Structure 1
Amino acid sequence: MVNIIPIFVILLSTLLISSHGNAVDSPLCGGRVFVENAIVIEAPVHKDCHWDIHTQEDRILVITALSGNLKEAQEFLTIHDGSGKDSPILIVEDQKIHERSRKDLPEAVYTTQSTASIRFKKAPTSNLQLKIQKAVDCPFNLGGDSQCGRVVDEVSCYCATFTQRNHGGQTTFCYSNNMKLLTLETYEKQQAIQAAWDELYIWTSLTDAQQEGTWIWESTNTNLYPGYANWCTGNPSDSGGDEDCTELNYVSAGCWNDFSCGNTLDAICQAIP
């Protein structure tokens, strides 16, 4: 974490910084900033600061408060959906909440496009830090028999579809909605998914169809090992010689079974920045 200047600081969040993060030289007040992953700005000690924020074109921005209260902060600043002079103002109370989103996520405003502007009308009376992250847009449904929400964090999106399809069909369904079939890289992520949906059997993107015994998360093209795994007892078994796909089995306390890809199950699609 590096201070650019002592009064007004832009820094890459140490919790979210990536190897692609970009250091930003900032003027005393305001400027144009590209968000590779996440940035944090501290409120100025004077008014009339204007920041233009942008990220990659197929992503949106989410703004939360690291210190202070985002609702109260609206007394001191405006957040605009876009960088144009007449861009609509985003307000915390106007943000729609997905029915399956976590209740403990911080107050946030989401843009509808890849740009935003933050304009400080006056200096806050207390310390205020705003975190601005790249996020994915999250639909409110993928049809009548589906549910969506920000069930893991404020930047990603997950949608469950309860129309049963085979593994290939669910993969195609997710892709057609700009998402991918579920991956479960950590225990914490699996617990969050299970807390949102307690369906009996869910397709994941884990498969060894390309090479027997070599398990790959197809959605991210990454190997399962070394990494988190939660096979049910006796699995993977390759019973019948054609169990090349993997289901999340809620009945057996959320462990995984290898299963024939031609069977039909529900699924969860994911979109991650």
Structure 2
Amino acid sequence: MFKQRILATVVALFSLFIVFGGWFLTNELLDRQHVKLMNKVNSIDFNEKLDVEPGAGRTKTSLSTKEIANILKVWTSDRIRHYHEPYEGQLTMEEAINAANSWLSYFCKNDILPKEILESDFTQTNAFLYDTNPVSQVPAMITPAPDPAYSFWSVNLINREVSVQLMINALTGEIWMVDISSSSLEVNFDNIKVWDVLEQYEKYFGLFSSDEPKREEAYASKSYENNQIGITVYKKAGESGHYGTIHFSLTSTH
């Protein structure tokens, strides 16, 4: 009886060791992957900025309007996101950062956004690839591969006064969401007209609509493709009185 108790205790301890060991190993692998991604970021030259013409957003694969709307619904939902290495056909980290730099360069050089953004000395740059597909609990060999169109690159350019965040569809290479904030007097959005930004953003996607847009001083929106998707642009004033934040994005209007 005593030996059986000892054996039962050993088995229980061994089981706990397996459980906690597996948990620790999983987290360690995720941490290493995180570091690996960051090391890749730090090895890329971010100074080269290329120009991108309007309408050239879909550089890899085009999606239907319905597909875009469905993906946007998932992106803006509370579904858990998990980072991963690029799937086949998706942008690499270098391609995603080049796309972000090219887009930002074009919009600034053409006076759509403040040119001073390009003069900002970004001290921190990072890029992470997130998947919004549900994580499968069964072996990959018997489940379909994740839909690569539901992943996005989050590219961030940051210094003490300016922060630029871009969400890039990992399959198409298009910039679907942009958030820029600034506490710098040199980089402000006082003279930026949100309607001008919206018009240039729709040209970037090659969109056209005869629908009546909503226009206010600091807000503009417009629907496309029978109200399946839209574009929203707004800016907000900072504490000092100048506009400290501007946002624009594709949206799902259903």
Give the TM-score, by structure 2 length.
Answer: 0.24
By relative contact order (CA 8 Å, sep 6+), the higher-ranking structure is 2
Give the TM-score, by structure 1 length.
Answer: 0.22
Structure having the higher strand fraction is 1
Structure having the higher helix fraction is 2
